[in-house]
Structure 1
Amino acid sequence: MELVIMAAGMGSRFGGLKQIEPMGPNGEFIIDYSIYDAIKAGFDKVVFIIKRENAEVFKETIGKRVEGKIEVSYVYQDMDNIPEEYLDNDRVKPWGTAHAIYCCQDVVSGNFAIINADDFYGRDAYMKAASFLKSGITGPNFGMVGYRAANTLTANGAVKRGVCSSSNGYLTSLVESKVEEVDNVITASPLNNEASFKVSNDTLVSMNMFLFTKDIFDILNKDIKEYFYKHKDNLNEGEFLIPDVVCEHIAKKDITVKVLDTSSIWYGVTYREDADTVKKALKDLTDNGEYPNKLWN
């Protein structure tokens, strides 16, 4: 089983890879815990999607720590890895998460999970993901690990989440929203400017932990051409995003996405003020024996 980590934007909020603040008691990044949990769940290969200009510093920090523990591959999310007829553009911003996955199709060899590099997902999420990926899934039958909304919030402001709707355990829609708790009420404000709505503590939200067979690459190879044709008059606008791809094909009824409910609690540094919360959580998990004091001994 393979874990694909979307790390091309890693540290972008805070000035780049070299500025990432260690969170663990011995200088570990959040991504270290993700890989550790994935190994514990049975994953045997990790694919890092990174920027080419970050390759050296990435390999010298994260790469060399984990290369003896799990098979490692690197994929560059190059701006020019797009349909040839659209290469003449001046866009600087990355093309998005669906483009990141599109870039790794020659490296991934079987069923795989994807995650964001900057999010702490928790052991249970990887166990649920691994169980699904090992269950014999084939074809365009995918999965998504869903988090209880209350387990994904920060006291320091709104966070972007995909608010899920499902039927009989399968995803029917995702509403990408800014989600925030104020006075014990969780409110989601859709990014498409539709009306805000209240969210219960147990409403499931997406943290981009999708579970795919290789059939996703057939879909992405077709959809990326449609995306660029649609945006050809202004390629600086928009992003080619995995949640959009998933929702579009759910609506067409040509994929299924099983929703796996996790009890894991999310941690991440959306705001600088979140760092102390994350450090305390990782210290507590270490003190309680969930993780060894030195992760990669």
Structure 2
Amino acid sequence: MSKPTLLILAAGMASRYGSLKQIDAFGPHGETIIDYSIYDAIQAGFGKVVFIIREEFVDKMREVFDEKLAGKIEVDYAFQSFDLTKFGIDRVIERSKPWGTAHAVMSAKDKINEPFCVINADDFYGSDSFQKMAKFLTTEVSDEKMSLMGFQVGNTMSDYGYVSRGVCEVDEEGHMLSVTERTNIYYTDAADGGRKIVYEENEQQFDLDPKTRVSMNFWGFTPRVFEVAEKMFHGFVEENADNPKSEFFIPSVPDYMVKHGMADFRVIPTSSKWFGVTYKEDKPIVQESISKLIAEGAYPERLF
């Protein structure tokens, strides 16, 4: 089996962060969070990395990544745009933001022909996650058997505001029964004087157990997912043509596939503590966490 590919979602607008966090420096020699993900992927045996970006960023991304990754891993780029003709939709819909993470994945359909892993550009997942996913993608994956890395929601929170997570329902054998994108998860005061995790839906607040497994957009797919997502996207566009804030999220595709008997998704558990940069205030925490990992010997001081 060929080496798996790493697909990095790096086309986001970074509206809550305030700048282009995909290339912001976090390591001691200007390393980005993406650098650490790619380093972990190379160590785990991935053979190619594809960046999903907006086309206007391509020169800057090449400047940051191409030279230092040359000879270490194959690099390619795919563009997320507002042009829907690539997906067989012959209409123009005015929007200020792209169509969401599942649409971003679809934008790479001409670049990937092998099992692949999807991650966010601004999330630090840790080497354990890449090792486990690489093993799955080289020994178990099929069009009927895919996966996601299941983090505990309590290990994925920000102290500075709300986050979005794919909340999973998992059976006793570790198979995903459903996954629902929750876009407003945050800490609030608990009755005992501490704090608890909640999410909002229809202006109501619901508690969320800190051990609940969630998706951090760390999915293991085969190219079969492109075909399924594209068919779903046609319906999504028709239903949401007049809703400029609607987004086609990745979790909706595996959820559909599971509920229609198209594929089984194994939730690969990890106790790793995620860290990332949703907000500007998160940056020093990420820098401190990376410095600690370097001091512990988990990463070299200079990655490439």
Aligned residue runs from structure 1 range 209-224, under 5 A: 209-224=218-233
* Residue of 91, 105, 109 corresponding to 2:109: 105
In the alignment, the residues of structure 2 paired with residue 249 and residue 134 of structure 1 have an alpha-carbon distance, to the nearest angstrom, of: 21
Higher alpha-carbon deviation: 182-191 or 122-131: 182-191
Structure 2 distance, partners of 1:268, 1:121, is 9
Distance of 1:145 and 1:252 partners within structure 2 = 21
Shift of 1:153: 1.7
2:264 to 251, 256, 262: 256
Aligned length: 294
Deviation at 1:195, TM superposition (A): 4.5
Deviation of 1:11 after TM superposition, in Å, equals 4.3
Aligned-partner Cα distance in 2 for 1:19–1:171: 30
Q: Give the whole-Å Cα distance in 1 for the aligned partners of 2:121 and 2:205.
A: 31
Deviation by residue 1:145-200 (Cα, 9 ceiling, x = unmatched) = 01122211222233222221111211112233333344544323145555412313
Provide the C-alpha distance between the structure 2 equivalents of 1:206 and 1:107, rounded to a whole number of angstroms.
24
Counterparts of residues 146-165 of structure 1 (less than 5 Å): 146-165=150-169
- 1:31-74 Cα offsets, whole Å, 9 max, x none, are 10000011111111000011100000111013332233100111
Matches within 5 A, 1:57-72: 57-72=60-75
How many angstroms apart in 1 are the aligned matches of 2:217 and 2:41? 15
User: How far is the alpha carbon of 1:251 from its aligned partner?
Assistant: 2.0
Cα distance in 2 for residues equivalent to 1:282 and 1:268 = 11
Deviates more, 1:241-250 or 1:30-39: 241-250
Match of 2:130 in 1: 126
Paired position in structure 2 for 1:241: 249
Partner of 1:176: 181
CA contact (8 A) 2:17 2:279 kept: no
Pairwise mapping of residues 85-104 of structure 1 onto structure 2 (< 5 A)? 85-104=89-108
Equivalent residue number for residue 34 of structure 2? 31
Q: Give how far 1:221 is off.
A: 2.3
**Per-residue displacement from partner, 1:74-118 (whole Å, max 9, x unpaired)?**
111121044454432221210111111111111102100000001
Q: TM-score, normalised by structure 1?
A: 0.92
CA contact (8 A) 2:7 2:116 kept: yes
1:192, 1:117 → 2: CA distance? Answer: 30
Matched, 1:269 2:269: no
Query: SS at 1:93's partner residue?
Result: coil
Distance in 1 between the 2:169 and 2:48 partners? 31
SS of equivalent residue, structure 1 residue 210: strand
Aligned-pair RMSD on alpha carbons?
Answer: 2.0
Gaps in structure 2 of 5+ consecutive residues: none
Alignment identity in percent?
A: 39
Q: Give the C-alpha shift of residue 248 in structure 1.
A: 2.3
- 8 A contact 1:111–1:213 mirrored in 2: yes
The 3-state SS of whatever aligns with 1:260 is strand
Contact 1:18 1:57 in 2 (8 A): no
Q: Deviations over 1:5-50 (max 9, x none)?
A: 0111164544443895311111111110000011111111000011
Distance (Å, rounded) in 2 between the aligned partners of 1:19 and 1:110: 25
| TM-score (ref. length: structure 2) | 0.90
The answer (yes or no) to whether the contact 1:140–1:215 under 8 Å persists in 2 is no
Q: Is the 8 A contact 1:122 1:264 kept in 2?
A: yes
Match of 1:198 in 2: 208
Which of 184, 187, 204 does residue 197 from structure 2 map onto? 187
Displacement after TM superposition at 1:205 (Å): 1.3
| Change over 3 Å in CA distance of 1:228–1:69 after alignment to 2 | same
Q: Following TM superposition, by how much is the alpha carbon of 1:217 offset from its aligned partner in structure 2, in angstroms? A: 1.5
Deviation at 1:247, TM superposition (A): 1.6
Equivalent AA in structure 2 for residue 121 of structure 1: Y
Unpaired runs of at least 5, structure 1: none
